[in-house]
Amino acid sequence: MKNITVSGLLKKYKTRPQKKLGQNFLTDVNLMNKLIDALELYPDEDVLEIGAGLGVFSQRIARHALGVLAIEKDKRLLKIAQDTFEDQTNLKFIEGDFLEFNLPHLLEKLRLPIKVIGNVPYYISSQILFKLLDHSHLFDFAVLTLQKEVAQRLVGKPGTKDYGILTILVNSQATCETLFDIEAGSFFPPPEVTSTAVKITFAKVPLFNIRNFPFFKKLVKQAFSQRRKTIQNSLKILIKNNKIDPWAACKIDPQVRPEQIPIESYVALANFLSPLI
């Protein structure tokens, strides 16, 4: 197949990216190859791509996989991708919003576990992460391009400004690592921020014994809703104005701030409180 580029397709079809959809197309072929390498693909594996765009990256992924299912919300781009790469039989483009799909139904014909890749719109990156986690049994791991600030939060350590709700909720169910930064000039149009490629490996067995995950999630969000207060004050409503005293049992100093508490202590706290509330 001749060398097909993002700029060439945009010019040919007289179209432009839509800012409101967070469209920034990766144009650097070397970085595309690095992202594909990070997928560690075998020829018998299927890939789900979130945000296919014009399909330039999609068709490169398909050279290494059994099949690629590429989701694209923008009808204009979808039609261009379908027309341009119609001869690539192991590449299927599908129109829709990833957040609205019934994933078990969508992926029922693919070979599990599926690997995920995507240059995801930054304004919905957290929602995409949580949807993947909600269906983690379908996936092996994901290689995603995220805003650097979000990537740093995924790997944040207790006691740092990056450590927070996203860190705890994701890392209670998966392991995260940053791979490499991607400068704005590697995209068209260039975003206003630096991006980072991250690898998120979904746990096959539970990383923590969380007995009531909805309550665990509620507790973490409540703790960080008043980040500068002590954990005791942040959770004042949940512990019924200090009528419940979980601190000694959970080995937590009630005077520390929420960002100083490791994930395992939040798990212990949630497990202690959930039967009492």
| Burial letters 67-82, b for 16+ CB under 10 A, else e | bbbbbbbbeebbebbb
- Write the CATH number for 254: 1.10.8.100
Which of 15-19, 219-223, 226-230, 241-245 has the largest mean confidence?
A: 219-223
Average confidence (pLDDT) over 41-61: 97
User: What pLDDT shows up at residue 157?
Assistant: 97
HEC string for 120-132: CCHHHHHHHHHHH
Domain that holds residue 191: 6-202
Number of C-beta neighbours around residue 39 at 10 A: 20
User: What pLDDT shows up at residue 224?
Assistant: 97
User: What pLDDT shows up at residue 277?
Assistant: 82
Of 90, 131, 220, 222, the closest CA to residue 168 belongs to 220
CA atoms of 102 and 83, how far apart (whole Å): 26
Whether the pLDDT of residue 33 is over 80: the answer is: yes
Interval 152-203: pLDDT, tens = 999 999 999 999 999 999 999 999 999 999 999 999 999 999 999 999 999 9
Whether 14 and 130 share a structural domain? yes
Which residues are paired to 26 by β-bridges? 187
Q: How confident is the model at residue 96 (pLDDT cuts 50, 70, 90)?
A: very high
Whether 166 and 256 share a structural domain? no
User: What pLDDT shows up at residue 1?
Assistant: 57
CB 217 within 8 A of CB 195: no
Unique residue bearing structure tokens 């400004």:
161
Q: How confident is the model at residue 2 (pLDDT cuts 50, 70, 90)?
A: low
User: What pLDDT shows up at residue 206?
Assistant: 94
Which of helix, strand or coil describes residue 58? helix
Number of domains within the chain: 2
User: What pLDDT shows up at residue 98?
Assistant: 97
CB 147 within 8 A of CB 121: no
Considering the chain, what is the average pLDDT of its residues?
96
Residue 208 domain flag: no
Phi, psi of 140 (to 5 degrees): -90, -70
- Of residues 243 and 85, more confidence is placed in 85
- Report residue 223 as tokens: 């703790």
User: What pLDDT shows up at residue 158?
Assistant: 98
CA atoms of 72 and 22, how far apart (whole Å): 12
Whether 136 and 238 share a structural domain? no
Whether 157 and 249 share a structural domain? no
Phi, psi of 83 (to 5 degrees): -70, -40
Of 67, 73, 72, the closest CA to residue 55 belongs to 72
Of 135, 119, 129, the closest CA to residue 167 belongs to 129
Whether 238 and 187 share a structural domain? no
CB 51 within 8 A of CB 119: yes
- Write the CATH number for 195: 3.40.50.150
Interval 239-276: pLDDT, tens = 987 789 999 999 999 999 999 999 999 999 999 999 99
CB 270 within 8 A of CB 219: yes
Number of C-beta neighbours around residue 19 at 10 A: 9
Whether 176 and 221 share a structural domain? no
Whether 164 and 222 share a structural domain? no
**Percent of the chain topping pLDDT 90:** 91
